[in-house]
Amino acid sequence: MGIQIAPSILSADFANLERDILTVGGADWLHVDVMDGHFVPNMTFGLPVVERICEVSPLPVDAHLMIDDPDRWAPRYAEAGAASVTFHLEAAHDPRAIAADLRSLGARASCAIKPGTPVEDVLPLIDRLDMVLVMTVEPGFGGQSFMADMMPKLRTLRAAAEAAGRDLRLQTDGGIARATVGTVVEAGCDVVVAGSAIYGAEDRAAEIAMLRELGER
């Protein structure tokens, strides 16, 4: 089965966002990292910018919310046009309600866990979710080293989804490049985020094709 590739615009040129969005059109999703300077020690942009990104992007937008109070904000990103919205379990007050809100707005409901969060915390929610994001770096910055010790979380999630007969997407984010894409796919990941690997490449379209090929299962 083919994997899906989601280039992260965190590594794009923020003064030329539209230009850089159009250079990754051969991917499957556009991964958009929203950081609030509270949930993570870094800031990017918020709703008005994401709304414009959704308007100019030829790819469906995969919003990754590294923010406090996703109960309040996550539905707003679905309303802004994101086709998929990922909130962090660690910041959520009522994750089931957030997932239900996202689905009722027609968005894919997705929940992320940081490296220190046990996979058992998200397992009871998988029947309400369309995707789980297993972070393979501490969220906040691009260009960090891949944490291979997160792979058992993917295996546990894949087994739990299969046992429940659920068509659950599993995403990984952080440190994914040619050398690591095979490892995450082998562990059960089917949606791969890559920021620096794609935006740092000489030929972004060729890098997307290369990651897709190396992630072939």
Which segments are annotated as binding site for substrate?
8, 64, 140-143, 173-175, 195-196
Distances (CA, A) of 22 to 34, 55, 82, 132, 141: 19, 12, 17, 27, 22
Could you say which of 33, 62, 101, 190 is catalytic?
33
- Annotation marks residue 33 as catalytic: yes
Neighbours of 138 (CB within 10 A): 14
Which residue from 156, 106, 112 is spatially nearest to 135, judged by alpha carbons? 112
How far is residue 163's CA from residue 166's CA, in Å, rounded to a whole number? 8
Binding window for Zn ion (CB under 5 A); candidates: 54-62, 68-76, 141-149, 169-177: 169-177
Query: Contacts with ligand DX5: how many residues (CB under 6 A)?
Result: 22
Which residue from 151, 111, 148 is spatially nearest to 131, judged by alpha carbons? 111
Could you say which of 62, 101, 173, 190 is catalytic?
173
Which 22-41 positions form the footprint of Zn ion (CB under 5 A)? 33
142: contact with ligand DX5 by CB under 6 A: yes
Binding window for Zn ion (CB under 5 A); candidates: 14-22, 112-120, 159-167, 172-180: 172-180
Min CB(141)–ligand DX5 separation in Å = 6
- Annotation marks residue 121 as catalytic: no
Task: List all residues 6 or more positions away from 21 whose beta carbon is below 8 Å from its beta carbon.
Answer: 9, 12, 30, 53, 56, 57, 58, 59
Query: Contacts with Zn ion: how many residues (CB under 5 A)?
Result: 3
> What residues are designated binding site for a divalent metal cation?
31, 33, 64, 173
- 1-30 b/e (C-beta count within 10 Å ≥ 16 → b): eebbbbbbbbbbeeeebeebbebbebbbbb
Residue among 62, 130, 173, 207 that touches Zn ion (CB under 5 A): 173
Give the DSSP H or E segment for 207.
helix 204-214
Min CB(163)–Zn ion separation in Å = 28
The residues annotated as belonging to the active site are 33, 173
Return residues touching ligand DX5 (CB under 6 A).
8, 10-11, 31, 33, 64, 137, 139-144, 173-176, 193-197
Return residues touching Zn ion (CB under 5 A).
33, 64, 173
